[in-house]
A = this chain, B = another copy of it.
Amino acid sequence: MPRPRLGHIQFINCLPLYYGMVKNDVLLDVDLVKANPADLAAELLDGRLDVAPIPAIEYARHADRFVLLPDIAISSEGEVQSILLVSKVPAGELSGRTVALTDTSRTSQVLARVLIAKRWGAEATYTEMPPDLPAMLRDADAALLIGDEALRAYWDHPEGLYTYDLGHEWTEWTGLPMVYAVWAVRRDYAEENPAAVQAVADALTNSLSYCRGHLDDISEYAARWEQFPAEKFRSYFDALRFRFQPQFREGLARYLAEAVAIGQLDSVPAIEVFGE
């Protein structure tokens, strides 16, 4: 049997997990493929991967093809720092205005639309653009950023602009955590290779528990190779959760229901979890 082909998100949010995987020698027993979440979802659907973290909304659009790992997700309870709406006006005044959505995101695009429509009651127009804040704000009144660009704006607090951490706003509004990505397994792979899937699940759980105990080291390590100082990484890694316990699944179900309510998803699928 070949090694399970496991996707990995090549972004800072998954760096603590990667660190834990390296320290636990997980890369000997999986064939790791690094890509962005949307590409990982495509590779999983094509059968080129067996297990991968994919955007929550992409999971929901193809839920019949997948089962989820039980104990891992990319999630937050309150602030997330790396998903930011930057606006020239208060969010409640975005009606009739244009919001530029970064084209690097799936789940966050829908999250921004949900919050703008339902938390802030604004009927905005949306456009998709590459993640370049000055360019976005030339063409639009507000911009959704994720990842490095969002972290930079979160830490710099650009002058004269309103910034909204969408993880914080979601939890304030719903009282629930938010789930951005889930670890999906191809259903046919899970049926044929339950022991391999369990081994991957265990390896990820061990890696997470290692990384939770070493966040200072990981922040120092991140600062060595990435463009932010260690204390910023530490603050970011504290905000991020990798949890998918019942309350988080409730947050995911609520998010998907809101996505249906604003016409961004056909229906809320039953969430099927491996081994449950």
Q: For A25, what are the chain B residues with a Cβ–Cβ distance below 8 Å?
A: 22-23
* Nearest-Cβ distance from residue A273 to partner chain B, whole angstroms: 27
With beta carbons under 8 angstroms apart, the residue of B2, B22, B221 that contacts A225 is: B2
Task: Give the number of times this chain occurs in the complex, counting copies.
Answer: 2
* Nearest-Cβ distance from residue A77 to partner chain B, whole angstroms: 28
Confirm or deny: A66 has a beta carbon within 8 angstroms of a beta carbon on chain B. no
Confirm or deny: A271 has a beta carbon within 8 angstroms of a beta carbon on chain B. no
Q: For A27, what are the chain B residues with a Cβ–Cβ distance below 8 Å?
A: 22, 27
Q: For A28, what are the chain B residues with a Cβ–Cβ distance below 8 Å?
A: 18-19, 22, 221
- Asked if A225 and B19 sit within 8 Å, CB to CB, the answer is no
With beta carbons under 8 angstroms apart, the residue of B1, B19, B29, B225 that contacts A3 is: B225
Q: For A221, what are the chain B residues with a Cβ–Cβ distance below 8 Å?
A: 28
Q: For A22, what are the chain B residues with a Cβ–Cβ distance below 8 Å?
A: 22, 25, 27-28
Docked complex: A1-15 residues within 8 A CB-CB of B: 1-3
Minimal Cβ-Cβ distance residue in B for A226: B2
Q: Mark A134-178, 1 if CB is under 8 A from B, else 0.
A: 000000000000000000000000000000000000000000000
**Chain B CB within 10 A, most for which of A22, A23, A29, A221:** A22
- Distance of A225 Cα from B30 Cα, bound (Å): 10
* Nearest-Cβ distance from residue A228 to partner chain B, whole angstroms: 14
- Distance of A27 Cα from B27 Cα, bound (Å): 9
- Distance of A27 Cα from B18 Cα, bound (Å): 9
Minimal Cβ-Cβ distance residue in B for A225: B3
Apart from the given pairs A2-B225, A3-B225, A29-B225, 10 other A-B contacts in the complex at a CB distance below 8 Å: A1-B225, A18-B28, A19-B28, A22-B22, A22-B25, A22-B27, A22-B28, A23-B25, A27-B27, A28-B221
A-B pairs with the 9 shortest C-beta distances?
A22-B27, A22-B28, A22-B25, A3-B225, A27-B27, A28-B221, A23-B25, A19-B28, A2-B225
The 13 sampled A-B contact pairs (Cβ below 8 Å) are: A1-B225, A2-B225, A3-B225, A18-B28, A19-B28, A22-B22, A22-B25, A22-B27, A22-B28, A23-B25, A27-B27, A28-B221, A29-B225
